Amino acid sequence: MSGTGGKVRVAVVFGGRSAEHAISCVSAGSVISALDPDRYDVVRVGITPDGRWVLADPGQRLAISGGELPEVAGGTAVSLVGDPAGRGLAVLEPGAAIGPALTEVDVVFPVLHGAYGEDGTIQGLLEMAGLPYVGSGVFASAASMDKEFTKKLLAAAGLPQGDHVVLRDAAGAVCADPSLLDEAARERLGLPVFVKPSRAGSSIGITKVTDWSQFPEAVATAAAVDPKVVVEASVPGREIECGVLAARGGGPPDASLPAEIRLRPGVDWYDFSAKYLDDSVDFDVPADLTPEQTAAVQEASRRAYLALDCRGLARVDFFLGTGPDGNDRLVINEVNTMPGFTPISMFPRMWAASGVGYAELVDRLVASALDGGPRTAR
């Protein structure tokens, strides 16, 4: 191992160029705190909002404080070495007092959310560098990040989806033009609808539309985050989430006890503020479900994980309602290949309720990455 005294050297990569930069920083702070210093040497690699890689100062704030979001601001400039013999990072600043022992790493934990982090891009970079890393590979990351293709792959596996439309022009090109949603589609989808960037998370760029007069502005808001815009019909039901984790030693993935998100009176929907800034939701961990409902959620979560070829971990989000026949109707909303790891995030809380504490969870993810190595076909 590259670390001192035979420790595993883990490069925790955080920040990034996406709109979820701040949440990535908060997640990374929790992950770093959970890595046992007796077993791991941690290399803190921050990516600034404009894409510069730096060795972040240990004093870098990685928490929301007084409503102020953290941001990677500076540090020693580094770059990932594309040659697998390089074992990690190269220092770019001449004369920097950092030797190669501080930049050689054994495994990467890319605690990155959104574009350039959760969408297969950094995963491809790590594959080229020959570095093991936590989480799904290039394909699963890209497919899970894009709501359109997540839905297609899950539907192909027989997993239920809500009705939706991707805005495209007559030639099939992605085009964020509100007029592309014709009257027939509006009639079918009904109101309200949720207008979303296809490749984003943390509810950034999403608008709940309750009147079609709001639709053009909602499309513009989503398109400012991603040029591909998805319009989804509202799915009534309880908001249920379930964590999936690679099993030790192979075999079918493990599924956590599910959790439920309950909005408090006066909160319209689970937007960014409700998730991270306001005390406006209640979390039931585990969710108050029947044994049959719990088993159905867990089984659907495992199937979704496998359908998208995920690795390491995922969080699967559902709506649980009642179908026309009076039976439970379970609809998958989305799959997250690098869910939040903040102190209030559901993924670690669900696993804690299932008997896997935060530190053990991080240990399992690192061990799974080291066992799997780079995953590009050879």
Q: Is the model's pLDDT at 378 over the cut of 50?
A: no
Q: Is the model's pLDDT at 120 over the cut of 60?
A: yes
Tell me how far apart the alpha carbons of residues 131 and 85 are, in angstroms, rounded to a whole number.
10
- The predicted pLDDT at position 26 comes to 94
Tell me how far the alpha carbon of residue 351 is from its chain's centroid: 16
Q: How far is CA 290 from CA 81, 254, 295, in A?
A: 50, 19, 9
pLDDT category at 268 given cuts 50, 70, 90 is low
What does the pLDDT average to over 176-197?
A: 95
Q: Is the model's pLDDT at 275 over the cut of 80?
A: no
Q: Is the model's pLDDT at 373 over the cut of 60?
A: no
Q: Is the model's pLDDT at 375 over the cut of 90?
A: no
Q: Is the model's pLDDT at 349 over the cut of 60?
A: yes
- The predicted pLDDT at position 101 comes to 44
**Beta carbons within 10 angstroms of residue 82's beta carbon:** 11
Beta strand segments in the chain, E: 8-15, 40-47, 53-56, 75-80, 89-91, 107-110, 164-166, 193-197, 207-209, 229-233, 238-245, 254-255, 259-263, 281-284, 313-322, 328-336
**What are the helix (H) ranges across the chain?**
21-34, 121-129, 138-145, 147-156, 183-189, 215-223, 272-276, 291-307, 346-353, 358-372
Instruction: Look up residue 234 and give its DSSP letter.
Output: -
> Who's near 126: CB < 8 A, 6+ residues apart?
80, 108, 110, 133, 374
Rg (CA), the chain: 21
The answer to whether 200 and 115 have CB atoms below 8 angstroms apart is yes
More confident residue, 245 or 376: 245
Q: What is the mean pLDDT of the chain?
A: 90
Tell me the residue type at 192. Answer: P
3-state SS of the chain: helix, strand, coil percent to 5?
30, 25, 45
Tell me how far apart the alpha carbons of residues 62 and 81 are, in angstroms, rounded to a whole number.
26
CA-wise closest residue to 196 among 184, 185, 206: 206
Tell me how far apart the alpha carbons of residues 125 and 132 are, in angstroms, rounded to a whole number.
11
**Beta carbons within 10 angstroms of residue 281's beta carbon:** 15
The answer to whether 351 and 256 have CB atoms below 8 angstroms apart is yes
Q: Which residues pair with 207 in a beta bridge?
A: 195
Tell me how far apart the alpha carbons of residues 170 and 44 are, in angstroms, rounded to a whole number.
47
- The predicted pLDDT at position 230 comes to 96
Tell me how far apart the alpha carbons of residues 175 and 213 are, in angstroms, rounded to a whole number.
19
Tell me how far apart the alpha carbons of residues 358 and 143 are, in angstroms, rounded to a whole number.
27
Q: How far is CA 122 from CA 46, 127, 330, in A?
A: 13, 9, 33
CA-wise closest residue to 244 among 378, 339, 150: 339
Buried b (16+ CB within 10 A) or exposed e, 332-341: bbbbbbbbbb
Q: Would you call 273 exposed, middle or buried from its count of C-beta atoms within 10 A (0-12, 13-18, 19+)?
A: exposed
Tell me how far apart the alpha carbons of residues 97 and 137 are, in angstroms, rounded to a whole number.
34
Q: Is the model's pLDDT at 148 over the cut of 80?
A: yes
Least confident piece of the model among 59-68, 182-191, 238-247: 59-68
> Who's near 325: CB < 8 A, 6+ residues apart?
none
